[in-house]
């Protein structure tokens, strides 16, 4: 089991550019979460999918953020246009419904 | 929604001492309480969890206790070692399965 796979590991982009983060969940896990981690705010839930359907996106900060899960094996988080304050580590985590969520390695995003 | 408070934010101990991290939650419907350890530059990793039908769970040097009435749960690490140094997060989730995380505790174990 390769675990939750995120790409890229690091992303440096200029303000105004589009950024796409990717996540491949653990096979069989039907819950998928996108989190943002910063020193100031800790781990913030951005969006939660269950069986590929967005259930709670109340944590998505602005319309610049969007997330999709077209199938059970892939999800994306897109920021368009990116801003310096979006700089953070973005984690994807998945779970099998009974708890025990597994995190990916994260994407460290730097917007300059 | 659920609100999880975690204390202390920083904990410094000598090697061999015990460490205790405490969390409180607000939603009485929460029934699953995992703890995660995050080493510098790495992902949070599940180290132990407890469900609301038990009051205590142990795994070698770590243990978690849960008081449903008071809505608080704690992580206990005994005989701490330098490699225990990390940020520890508690979380709570209920029927929605959406975990709400505490702000984290930075544990420093001095050799």
**B100 touching chain A per CB within 8 A:** yes
CB contact under 8 A, A106 and B103: no
CA–CA separation, A25 and A4 (whole Å): 5
Contacts B103 to A, Cβ<8 Å: 42
Classify residue A85 by its DSSP letter: G
Beta carbon pairs, A and B, within 8 Å: 45
Among the partner residues B44, B45, B49, nearest to A99 by beta-carbon distance = B49
CB contact under 8 A, A45 and B34: no
| Enclosing H/E stretch for A67 | strand A65-71
The alpha-carbon gap from B60 to the nearest alpha carbon of chain A, in Å, equals 19
Output the average pLDDT for chain B. 94
Residue-wise pLDDT for B71-90, tens only, equals 999 999 999 999 999 999 99
Report percent pLDDT > 70 for chain B: 98
Show Cβ contacts of residue A84 under 8 Å, excluding neighbours closer than 6 positions. A15, A111, A112
CB contact under 8 A, B42 and A105: yes
Instruction: Name the residue with tokens 């205790």.
Output: B20
The alpha-carbon gap from B31 to the nearest alpha carbon of chain A, in Å, equals 10
CB contact under 8 A, B93 and A50: no
CA–CA separation, A20 and A36 (whole Å): 14
Contacts B93 to A, Cβ<8 Å: 99
Among the partner residues B32, B42, B89, nearest to A99 by beta-carbon distance = B32
Instruction: Name the residue with tokens 């206990």.
Output: B76
CA–CA separation, B102 and B97 (whole Å): 16
CB contact under 8 A, A100 and B51: no
- For residues B63 and B50, is the Cβ–Cβ distance under 8 A? no
The pLDDT tens digits along chain A (112 residues) read: 679 999 999 999 999 999 999 999 999 999 999 999 998 888 999 999 999 999 999 899 889 999 999 999 999 999 999 999 999 999 999 987 666 789 999 999 999 9
């Amino acid at each position: 089991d390769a675990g939750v796979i995120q790409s890229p590991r690091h992303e440096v982009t200029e303000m105004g550019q589009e950024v796409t983060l990717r996540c491949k969940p653990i096979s069989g896990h039907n819950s998928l979460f996108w989190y943002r981690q910063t020193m100031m705010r800790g781990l913030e839930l951005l969006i939660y999918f269950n069986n590929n359907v967005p259930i709670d996106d109340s944590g998505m900060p602005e319309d610049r953020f969007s997330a999709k899960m077209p199938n059970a094996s892939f999800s994306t988080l897109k920021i368009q246009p990116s801003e310096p304050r979006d700089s953070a580590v973005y984690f994807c985590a998945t779970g099998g419904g009974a708890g025990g969520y597994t995190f990916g390695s994260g994407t460290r995003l730097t917007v300059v | 929604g659920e609100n999880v408070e975690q204390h202390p934010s920083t904990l410094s101990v000598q090697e061999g001492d015990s460490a205790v991290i405490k969390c409180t939650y607000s939603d009485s419907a929460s029934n699953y309480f995992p703890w995660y350890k995050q080493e510098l530059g790495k992902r949070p990793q599940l180290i132990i969890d407890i469900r609301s039908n038990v009051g205590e769970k142990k795994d070698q040097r770590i243990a978690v206790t849960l008081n449903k009435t008071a809505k608080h749960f704690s992580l206990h690490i005994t005989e701490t070692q330098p490699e225990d140094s990390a940020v520890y997060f508690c979380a709570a989730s209920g029927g929605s399965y959406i975990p709400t995380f505490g702000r984290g505790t930075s544990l420093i174990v001095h050799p």
